[in-house]
Amino acid sequence: MNRAVPKRKEPSPEELLEREEKRRGWIRFRMGLLSGVLALGLGLIVSSGYTIMVEDGPAWREMAEMQRKRRLHVAPKRGTIYDRGGSSLAVSVEVPSVSLDAAELLRGIPSQDVPVVARNAANRIAAVLGLEPAQVERRILGKRRFNWLKRQISAEEADKIRALSSDEGPGRRVRGLTVEGEGRRYYPRRELASALLGFVAPDGEGKDGLEYALNAELAGRVESLNGLRDRSGRLIFSEGIDDERALAGHDIQLALDQGIQYVAERELLQAMRTFEAKAGSVVVLDPNTGEILALASVPLFNPNDYRESEPEARRDRGSAEAFEPGSTAKIFTIAAGLAAGVVKSGDRLYCENGSMAVDNVTIRDTHPAEWLSLSQVLAVSSNICAAKIGLSLGENRLYEALRRFGFGEKTGIPSPGEATGTLRPRGRPWVQVETAAASFGQGVSMTNLQVALATAAIANGGELMEPILIKRVTTATGELIREAVPRVRRRVVPPFVARTVSELLVAVTEGEGTGVEAAIDGYRVAGKTATAQKTDPATGRYSLDRYVASFVGFVPAEKPLVTIAVMIDEPMVEHAGGAVAAPIFRRVAKMALETRGLIPRGVARADLAELSASPDPARAAYQALRERDGKKPPIQESVGSGPAPSGKLRLPDLTGMPARAALAKAYHLGVVPAMQGSGLLVSQTPPPGSVVDPGATVTLVFEPAS
């Protein structure tokens, strides 16, 4: 039976309208709710953006800049050091160095894999650079943005590092490695003036000599330079500098003459070998301007390989080593006595026959005498007469005179180790015996540079000059920073005293003076020898076998162009200043005169040191004389026990003559001198009165006057 399905009731229009209103209300509610949620979200975003961009903006910008930019570790080019003629003594050249950005190397590496990656990278880097793998691994694990791995590497090492950090290199690329150009100091003249110049360490800082003293000017101006980098850390742009020369160090031009400096060092080295000396120094000055033309010191070292040298070899002994000057101090004692009027140029002094007691000390002379003029006091170097002048001055006036000459104070040159020397024991004046000792250079100490400057004051008429070592300073672009001009520090003695002392000093290098080996043919040389005993640190007394041999002088005596001070420390074969230091003065002075266009004239001196390389030194000396004169030496009338046979020569008695005079006499007689030793002639073979042929060899044996 079929059941009937009730028929569904159709909603009325009112119901349909009501339902439509409900549906629209629900839609509006959902839209409002969604809009509210969106508005709230937008508000939070805007609020966060405001906080980040406005309130925390500076901090975020700084962080972004730190991530985006990289500090450039490029030092400015170090200034060049020149000699007075513009020749380079110290220059900077660019060499590669390798640095590591450890954070970049480990970027993106999971923390558990970092030790393995660091170890592998360290092994590969260490193998290329010759470093310890553990050391490199520690730097990698430190995760610093910059580390120097190795500075001033070879070109081969640089190529291997570039291959290691390149995508084309073998194995996995090692990121964070950078090869950068870095300045390295190079000394093209090697050992020349090495103690004066000093050296520069790999970090670019001067560590000794002028490189240290003038480091602020030579090193240049360092600024913070930044570079942009991409996400891989590669530098793509740099900023902050328009002209790199603006940051470069200043160029320094010295008053030094490298030719004179070379000769001075060569002669010092020769003297060290000949006399088995410990060390030595030579100072060459222009007495009229104070310019230092040479400041030589031995032993030498090569500043390009300074690690191979001993610290003792790096001392500038001309300015940093004080020593008891000995008899050269008599120059200043006599000058002070003349200036004070306690002694006059024509006076003769009683010399006590070579022995004089002062307090409980006996002062002795090497050449005992009864009466001596002032010129003889200097010529034979009388300690007793110098002591009498010093005692006449008194402790205060002698001390003040030595201070006026510049002793006991620094000269002011830019030398980091310059010594002041010592005049008085600290805290008390001299007693009488100390005053006497200071008069002839004992109990006081001076540097060779101080002695040279004080002697230059005698040479130029009595004015102590400011020493000029730095002649000119310019920027890398050529702009003049400063230029030295001659400046008088003070007047030390009146002009007439300086002229008088100059004439007295000429006697030292002529006749029977102790400095005849310093004489230069054709010029009058003023100078003074010294042979000073050194104190023994173990006993506090003067040593019997350790000496300082020195000579100081100037030439030409009438109108001096150069002042030269020579000091040889602990010569063993011979220790007299006239035999050891005076010949060095002569050879350096010849070079200095030649640089001024003055060629020594007259009869040449046969110098054993210069002729020792010849198979026959005597014949070489004779030939040198003939070539210099341009003709055969004239045969003069013989002297002795009667006339010589025709065509023969009778030898005169030459004993007692200084080497220079004996050689000239033999030359004019027409015989060949075979010289042995130095000083005064003590014997000749054949003996006086012997008849010889022209051109025969005559052996002349010399011994020091002391």
474 CB-near residues (< 8 Å, 6+ apart): 250, 251, 253, 480, 481
d(CA 565, CA 448): 6
Closest CA to 91 of 241, 324, 252: 252
Asked whether 600 and 522 are in contact (CB, 8 A), the reply is yes
Closest CA to 692 of 615, 631, 640: 640
* Tokens at 226, concatenated: 């930044």
Q: Is 637 left (phi over 0), alpha (psi -120 to 50) or beta?
A: beta
Asked whether 167 and 173 are in contact (CB, 8 A), the reply is yes
Strands 526-535 and 226-229: unpaired
For residue 69, give Cα distances in angstroms to 139, 182, 231. 21, 21, 11
d(CA 188, CA 81): 11
d(CA 672, CA 666): 7
CA atoms within 13 A on the CB side of 342: 18
Active site residue 327: yes
Count, residues in the chain: 706
Active-site choice (99, 194, 281, 327): 327
Q: What share of the chain is helix, strand, coil (3-state, %, to 5)?
A: 40, 20, 40
> Per-residue DSSP letters for 171-227?
SS--TTEEEEEEEEEE-TTTTTTHHHH--B-TTS-B-SHHHHHTHHHHH------EE
Closest CA to 400 of 363, 438, 433: 438
Asked whether 263 and 591 are in contact (CB, 8 A), the reply is yes
CB atoms inside a 10 Å sphere around CB 33: 10
d(CA 290, CA 321): 20
d(CA 284, CA 449): 9
d(CA 657, CA 560): 27
Catalytic residues: 327
